[in-house]
Amino acid sequence: MRLVLASRSPQREAILRRLGLSFRVVVSRYAEGGDGGDGPERLALANACGKAREVAGRARLEDGELVLGVDTVVALGGRTYGKPRGAAEAGEFLAALGGRTHHVHSGLCLLDGGREATAAARTAVTFRPLTTETIGAYLAAGEWRQRAGAYAIQGLGSSLVTAIEGDYWNVVGLPVAALIGLLEGFGTPPLTWL
Please indicate whether residue 71 is annotated as part of the active site: yes
Reading phi first (left if > 0) and then psi (alpha if -120 to 50, else beta), residue 155 is in beta
Residue type, 12: R
- Burial profile 90-105: b = 16 or more Cβ within 10 angstroms, e = fewer: bbebbebbbeeebbbb
How far is residue 86's CA from residue 84's CA, in Å, rounded to a whole number? 6
Residue of 35, 71, 112, 167 marked active site: 71
Contacts 24+ apart (CB under 8 A), 145-149: 145/84, 145/90, 146/9, 146/83, 147/83, 147/84, 148/72, 148/73, 148/74, 148/81, 148/82, 148/83, 148/104, 149/73, 149/74, 149/81, 149/93, 149/97, 149/102, 149/104
- Active site residue ranges: 71
